[in-house]
Amino acid sequence: MNKLTDYQQAKYLEALDAVHKWGISKISDAAISSHLTQLCAQIGDNEELEKLRIQLAGCGVCAMQNTFDSVKERITKDSPYWSASYGDVCRAVDAEIRFRGEYEDACKTLALMHAAAVGEVAGPKRGVIEDIADLKSERDQLKEENERLHKAFERYKAGYIAAMQLNEDLNK
């Protein structure tokens, strides 16, 4: 029974005790011991499978730890449940956190640009791009109206000057 873990030795002794309780004494102790040693080796494999299951579950948990606070709760490389796949998931989650931060920064910049264009800090009415297009259209209409009024003023001014000149000529 050498090279068995404590867990395997306990299972081996449980099985040996059960064999004797069941009255299977016709089988030699050597045969029973050999068979139980093989079973214990399989139990060891099952322990390895259990470790792999926990490592896989760790990857799932890590994938959900996508905030700055939850990153602090990660297992470290010295843990028996840390794996290369866990490290890969950690790196992907770190990238997600970084991209979310960049997205939030871009949204803040866009909101500031929108506020500068609209003149107020408010959410877009239809969408930022559409609001800016509306502002450009309104600006163009106001330019046209300004040009129309400017031409009308110039005509009025010319008429006023002509009327003043006529009035002066008549008063002479």
39-48, Cβ contacts within 8 angstroms, sequence gap of 24 or more: 39/11, 39/12, 39/15, 40/4, 40/8, 40/9, 40/11, 40/12, 41/8, 43/7, 43/8, 43/11, 44/4, 44/5, 44/8, 47/5, 47/7
Read off the pLDDT of residues 26-42 as tens digits, 9 standing for 90 and up.
556 666 667 667 766 66
Q: Give this prediction's pTM.
A: 0.45
Q: Quick one: average pLDDT of 101-113? A: 85
**What value does the mean pLDDT of the chain take?**
79
**What are the residue boundaries of the structural domains of the chain, listed by start?**
129-172
Helix (H, G, I), strand (E, B) or coil at 6: helix
Lowest mean pLDDT among 43-47, 56-60, 85-89: 43-47
Q: What pLDDT does 13 receive?
A: 74
Residues 6+ apart with CB under 8 A from 47: 5, 7
Res. 51: pLDDT tops 60: yes
Helix (H, G, I), strand (E, B) or coil at 91: helix
Q: What pLDDT does 21 receive?
A: 65
Quote the DSSP letter at residue 126: S
